[in-house]
Amino acid sequence: MNGFLTAVRCSKMRFPTAILNHPVESLHFHHHLLIKPFSSIASLPVDHHHHHHHDPNPNPNPDPLQPDLPTQLFSILSRPNWLKHPSLKKLVPSISPSHVSSVFSLNLHQLDPQTALSFFYWISQNKPGFQHNVQSHSSLLHILIHYHFIGAAEKIRISMIKSCQSQDDAAFVLDTLRRMSRENSNGEFQFKFTLKSYNMLLMSLSKFLMIEEMKRVYLEMLGDMISPNIYTLNTMVNGYCKLGNVVEAELYVSKILQAGLNPDTFTYTSLILGHCRNKDVDRAYRVFNLMPQKGCRRNEVSYTNLIHGLCEATRVDDALKLFSQMREDYCHPTVRTYTVIICALCGLGRKEEALKFFKVMTEKGCEPNVHTYTVIIDSMCKEHRLDKARQLLDRMLEKRMVPSVVTYNALIDGFCKEGQTEAALEILGLMELNKCSPNARTYNELIYGFCKYKNVHKAMALLHKMLESKLSPSLVTYNSLIHGQCRAGHLDSACRLLNMMNKDGLVPDKWTYSVFIDTLCKRGRVEEARALFDSLKEKNLQANEVIYTALIDGYCKAGRIDDAQSLLNKMLSEDCLPNSVTYNVLIDGLCKEKKVREALLLVDEMVKMGVKPTAVTHTILIEEMLKEGDFDHAHRVFNQMVSSGYQPDVFTYTTFIHAYCSQGRLKEAEDVMSKMNREGVLPDSLTYTLIIDAYGRLGLIHSAFDVLKRMFDAGCEPSHYTYICLIKHLSNEKRVTENSNAVGLEFVSITASIDFVDVWKVMEFENALELFEKMVEWGCVPNVNTYGKLIIGLCKIERFEVAQRLFNHLQEKGMSPTEDIYNSLLNCCCVLGMYDEAVRLVATMVELGHLPHLESYRLLICGLYDQGNKERAEAVFCKLLHCGYNHDEVAWKLLIDGLLKRGLVDRCSQLYDIMEKKGCQVHPQTFSMLIEGLDGT
């Protein structure tokens, strides 16, 4: 036994911390120290008052024999003709604000102030995109003050205040300037604040909502005997109003009056904002109406603040009235005015009006900004108009606008909800290309999308990306993934996620448990589901209607109607109100047990409880009556349903079609189909397939293909049942026309009476070709979906040769097989032990960017080891690690469920070693499971 895991196992008793700490972290930490290039600044003495920001342009891999960049710069700036120095131009691309800061702060008394000032301006003009930060300003300021360059220092002080990008910057500037104004206690020279610098500083603090600091600075200003002017007092009013603190703001309004000054447009506009932030729109309106009386002109901001307040209070029509009044006041709506209204209209579902405003603003020459576009894009996505939303994003990019993370998220969410996960990934790619960092919400939306559409491996890979981006998964992330794993049938993986989630300090909620209870019930493990349900109390969780419904459904499916009914009673006694879904599963259970009378009584009870029967309720009853052959009663229930205002859905109509088809009453079935079309209810693949099968059974193969043509024209994808049904009936027709063909007879005599599943067992490649020929004849050209349905069906019952011939035929026709087709072939190869073929398929898939399923990888790697082909198994494993899989899932599926379950402990240890060497980090919980697995063998 060898490898890292083995070493940890052996040292487990002596060093229990090896299990608690991450196995890879310590190694990576040392490795990181060895490879990280030493920054030229790291070794320099630092001014402890500086918060060094992340350097956007660090000096890459400096040559240890070369002097560092600040030293080189100082040596150039020390010369009288520094501008003409040949090395200066070469250094420019590498110079960042922190390099400037280092040159100035390290050579405070040696640099000529005029040179320092000239270089400061020169670099910002000669390097595109260069912006001095607060630290580079501060270090220049120290030089200028040291040499008493007061005029220049005052300009740099103002520039420094303006360069603040964050609260931290503002705090740094405040601290630096305060110390500078009190530098010399002996009173020789102090760089005192002027009225202008005080005002600029207050504005900066107001911008970052640092109200307490503003108050202190205002008092310091009074202490310095500097009289506040209207700008000072207005800034104070505005600062408090931004927080909705109108009481405090009005104290400063009274100071304006006490100083013999007049409140101006800015003062009143701030008060309007304050009242609106305080949710008191009527007071804001009073201030707005007062302005002309006080001789103050209302401006665009006054209007926009009030319009925003009205929109926030959902008084959009009042806001629209005010908007139309702007022109009379000679005010032109700004981009913010339009955006506020567009946003409010979208929020109220008045999408068409919002679009009209969007159009009007562009026509009036008011260019929408990122926020405007984002609101419209989000609205388009919610309306399922994804093409339009995508066009708007493209328009933004064409105009060189920088979409925000919110813009991209709106599109990703839209695509994911529609199941267009590849399009959503494309947006993620665009985001990364445009240097916009995805946030936790981006990943949560993508993970939800992939899990909803049963692609949980890609969702897990996104969890991996999320962790790499230092973003923390939330309860929402884990719940989506647990749901995805359960839907894909991987209950073990879902349980492991639950453990990981607990270890990360997240507390599972009722949604987490509802997924587990539902999955256990669907697998017929009702007792385990009940035990989990009973354990909720000790977890301080109250079961909700979703959990109760899942368990009631589980009991019904297991034929335990009494248990289901007693659970409904328990639900009512716990004051948890059943919804229509709860009643529907119980009504369905009663019908399946032929207890129709009880089912009808339960419908009455449901109505008494104030829960309205739905289309599903009626459909369940209709289905049972049709099964009994009671068409009249079924029609009565249908008519009652329509007169009660319930719109029958595709399931209701399909129930009737099924009943008619099973009796060979095709005219009635087609009448129901026509009625569906008239009512605007789209038939699904089952609806069409039932009619195709009915025509086929009557030997009317032409009519069956007519229905297939209708299906294609309606854009409804046929299912594998549709195709296998047609193959079955085509063969029957062949038997009738070619009685002499023994092989055909053998196949057909079987298919005439057998189930769909058995057709897969006897169909040959030629049968598929006959189907394709007939489809072309009817104008239904076989597409990749046609081939896919047949290949996947054949692979499920291990008929690899026929599936492979279809696969080759598909490629000969110039079509690209989908990821699902590849995965079904791969799985089939692995199950049949055809490992050479499987290795070839994996290589092709990886090359095409498809993700081979981990279940297939497990079979393949274990199979290669069984054959004694260690090198090949390791090579396949190494390739797999480059596919972007989640490392925990790799460890679970391959190492724990694969190798350890087969007792291949050494192999497990060796493969984990490979993971570790490639820097693959697993969760401490997974690592503990590996150790336990090794120790348990």
- Residue 667: pLDDT band by 50, 70, 90 thresholds? very high
Radius of gyration of the chain (CA): 37
Kindly report the number of other CB atoms within 10 A of residue 404's CB atom.
Answer: 14
Instruction: List alpha helices for 331-439, DSSP H.
Output: 335-347, 351-363, 370-382, 386-398, 405-417, 421-433
Report, as an integer, the average pLDDT of 738-767: 61
Contact present, 758 and 750 (Cβ < 8 Å): yes
Contact present, 543 and 533 (Cβ < 8 Å): yes
Q: Which pLDDT does position 491 carry in this prediction?
A: 92
Contact present, 439 and 472 (Cβ < 8 Å): no
Q: Of 906, 897, 893, give the one whose Cα is nearest residue 934.
A: 906
CA dihedral 629, 631, 636, 637 (to 10 degrees): 50
Give me 110's structure tokens: 């040696």
Task: Please state, for a pLDDT cut of 70, what percent of the chain lies above it.
Answer: 89
User: How many CA within 13 A on the CB side of residue 453?
Assistant: 16
Contact present, 583 and 617 (Cβ < 8 Å): yes
Contacts of 811 (CB under 8 A, 6+ apart): 817
What is the rounded distance in angstroms from the CA atom of residue 263 to the CA atom of residue 332? 23
What is the rounded distance in angstroms from the CA atom of residue 284 to the CA atom of residue 277? 10
Q: Which DSSP letter does residue 798 get?
A: T
- CA–CA distances in Å: residue 463 to residues 476, 501, 503, 516, 820: 12, 12, 16, 20, 22
Q: Which DSSP letter does residue 34 get?
A: H
Contact present, 529 and 521 (Cβ < 8 Å): yes
CA dihedral 870, 876, 878, 879 (to 10 degrees): 170
Kindly report the number of other CB atoms within 10 A of residue 866's CB atom.
Answer: 13
What is the rounded distance in angstroms from the CA atom of residue 460 to the CA atom of residue 450? 9
What is the rounded distance in angstroms from the CA atom of residue 644 to the CA atom of residue 769? 50
Residue 168 has pLDDT above 50, yes or no: yes
Residue environment code for 332-365, b if the CB has 16+ CB neighbours within 10 A, otherwise e: ebbebbbbbbbbbbbeeebbebbbebbeebeeee
Q: Provide the residue count of the chain.
A: 937
Kindly report the number of other CB atoms within 10 A of residue 2's CB atom.
Answer: 10
What is the rounded distance in angstroms from the CA atom of residue 272 to the CA atom of residue 125? 41
Contact present, 246 and 274 (Cβ < 8 Å): yes
What is the CA angle 747-748-751, rounded to 5?
90
Q: Which DSSP letter does residue 235 get?
A: H
- Residue 188: pLDDT band by 50, 70, 90 thresholds? low
How are the residues of the chain apportioned to helix, strand and coil, as percentages rounded to the nearest 5? 70, 0, 30
3-state secondary structure 298-341: CCHHHHHHHHHHHHHCCCHHHHHHHHHHCHHHCCCCCHHHHHHH
- Residue 241: pLDDT band by 50, 70, 90 thresholds? very high
Q: Which pLDDT does position 738 carry in this prediction?
A: 62
User: How many CA within 13 A on the CB side of residue 307?
Assistant: 27
Q: Which pLDDT does position 295 carry in this prediction?
A: 83
Residue 741 has pLDDT above 70, yes or no: no
pTM of the model: 0.74
- The dihedral built from the CA positions of residue 475, 477, 479 and 485, taken in this order, carries a sign that is negative
What is the CA angle 21-23-25, rounded to 5?
80
What is the rounded distance in angstroms from the CA atom of residue 364 to the CA atom of residue 235? 32
What is the CA angle 807-811-814, rounded to 5?
150
Q: Of 664, 675, 674, 747, give the one whose Cα is nearest residue 700.
A: 664
> Which pLDDT tens digit goes with each residue over 208-219?
999 999 999 999
> Which pLDDT tens digit goes with each residue over 271-308?
998 989 888 888 888 888 888 888 888 888 988 988 99
Task: Please state, for a pLDDT cut of 90, what percent of the chain lies above it.
Answer: 52
What is the rounded distance in angstroms from the CA atom of residue 54 to the CA atom of residue 221? 33
Which amino acid, one-letter code, is at 809? H
Q: Which pLDDT does position 116 carry in this prediction?
A: 92
3-state secondary structure 243-265: CCCHHHHHHHHHHHHHCCCCCCH
Residue environment code for 161-178, b if the CB has 16+ CB neighbours within 10 A, otherwise e: bebbeeeebbbbbbebbe
What is the rounded distance in angstroms from the CA atom of residue 595 to the CA atom of residue 591? 5
End-to-end CA distance of the chain: 12
Q: Which pLDDT does position 13 carry in this prediction?
A: 31
Q: Which pLDDT does position 831 carry in this prediction?
A: 94
Report, as an integer, the average pLDDT of 550-564: 93
> Which pLDDT tens digit goes with each residue over 442-487?
999 999 999 988 889 889 999 988 988 899 999 999 999 999 999 9
Q: Which pLDDT does position 743 carry in this prediction?
A: 46
Burial class from Cβ neighbours inside 10 Å (0-12, 13-18, 19+) for residue 27 reads middle
What is the rounded distance in angstroms from the CA atom of residue 266 to the CA atom of residue 249? 13
- Residue 67: pLDDT band by 50, 70, 90 thresholds? low
Kindly report the number of other CB atoms within 10 A of residue 810's CB atom.
Answer: 22
Contacts of 210 (CB under 8 A, 6+ apart): 167, 170, 171
> What is the average pLDDT value for the chain, to the nearest integer?
85
Q: Of 168, 176, 240, give the one whose Cα is nearest residue 202.
A: 240
Q: Of 687, 784, 770, give the one whose Cα is nearest residue 728.
A: 770
Q: Which pLDDT does position 792 carry in this prediction?
A: 95
Burial class from Cβ neighbours inside 10 Å (0-12, 13-18, 19+) for residue 931 reads middle
Helix, strand or coil, per DSSP, at residue 653:
helix
Which amino acid, one-letter code, is at 135? Q
What is the rounded distance in angstroms from the CA atom of residue 553 to the CA atom of residue 561? 9
Instruction: List alpha helices for 615-649, DSSP H.
Output: 615-627, 631-643
Contact present, 896 and 862 (Cβ < 8 Å): no
> Which pLDDT tens digit goes with each residue over 485-541?
999 889 999 999 999 998 888 999 989 999 999 999 999 999 999 999 999 988 888
What is the rounded distance in angstroms from the CA atom of residue 392 to the CA atom of residue 371? 12
> Which pLDDT tens digit goes with each residue over 802-835?
999 999 999 999 999 999 999 999 999 999 999 9
Give me 390's structure tokens: 């995508």
Give me 631's structure tokens: 């068409």
Kindly report the number of other CB atoms within 10 A of residue 730's CB atom.
Answer: 21
Give me 290's structure tokens: 């007062």
Contact present, 119 and 82 (Cβ < 8 Å): yes
What is the rounded distance in angstroms from the CA atom of residue 460 to the CA atom of residue 889? 8
> Which pLDDT tens digit goes with each residue over 370-394?
998 999 898 888 888 888 889 889 8
What is the rounded distance in angstroms from the CA atom of residue 597 to the CA atom of residue 603? 10
Q: Which pLDDT does position 278 carry in this prediction?
A: 83
